[in-house]
Each structure stands twice: as C-alpha cells, then as structure tokens.
C-alpha cells in the first residue's frame, strides 16, 4: 500500500505546527489543565492546530473606559456624553484620548 505524498506532507506540516504551538503553550501562563488539553487537541492532524491557534490568538483587553461594568444597565452614552457634546474638534479629540488611554476611572 502506497501513501499519497501530498497527505504525508500535510501530516508532517501539521505535526510541525502542532509542536511549535505546544512549546509556546507550555511556556505560557495558562493553567496546566488548559495546557494539557490544548496540547492533545493540537496533535489532531490539520484540525487541531487550527483550533489551538483560534484559542491562542485573543484580542487584547480593552481599556477600562471602554469596558462596561455596569451590570445589566448600559451606560455607555452617559460615559461618553462629554465627548459627544464637545463643540470643538480639538476638545472632542482630547476628551476621547483621555478616556481611551485609561486616565479616567468612570
């Protein structure tokens, strides 16, 4: 029985990517259970590395001014009202910059 060379190449590439992801995963500060389970998933050919990459590439945490910690009530408009109501574009930009760069605890 002869193996298809394309299939062998895909398997080798998938394993190399899985090893690279596993090494990076074990160097991270994740919990040991997450490390172990994602390492097992990573070695599933083709599908595993894609799933681990999906888990590992997370967006950065938003600044406090952009987060909504009000519970069930959304007060985004109330927090950003001074920015929206500013008449001067320079003042509006400065207020926006101040809130986005986490200098104001709302």
pLDDT band, residue 65 (cuts 50/70/90): confident
Closest CA to 56 of 21, 31, 17: 21
Long-range CB pairs of 24-32 (<8 Å, 24+ gap) are 24/56, 25/52, 25/56
Q: Could you state, in order of their start, the residue ranges of all structural domains in the chain?
A: 5-56, 64-100
Contact by Cβ (8 Å): 39, 71:
no
Distances (CA, A) of 73 to 41, 51, 68, 94: 39, 34, 9, 27
pTM: predicted TM-score of the whole model, two decimal places: 0.53
Distance CA 80, CA 87 (A): 14
Residues in the chain: 106
By three-state DSSP, how is residue 73 classified? coil
What is the tens place of the pLDDT at every residue in 9-63? 998 999 999 999 899 888 888 889 988 999 999 999 889 998 888 887 777 777 7
């Amino acid at each position: 029985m002869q193996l298809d060379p394309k299939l062998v190449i895909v398997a080798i590439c998938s394993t190399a990517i899985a090893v690279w992801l596993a090494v990076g995963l074990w160097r991270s500060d994740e919990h040991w259970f997450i490390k172990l389970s994602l390492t097992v998933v990573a070695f599933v050919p083709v599908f595993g590395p894609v799933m681990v990459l999906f888990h590992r590439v997370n967006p950065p945490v938003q600044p406090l001014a952009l987060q909504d910690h009000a519970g069930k009530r959304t007060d985004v408009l109330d927090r950003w009202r001074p920015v929206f109501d500013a008449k001067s574009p320079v003042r509006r930009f400065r207020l926006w910059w101040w809130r986005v760069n986490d200098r104001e605890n709302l």
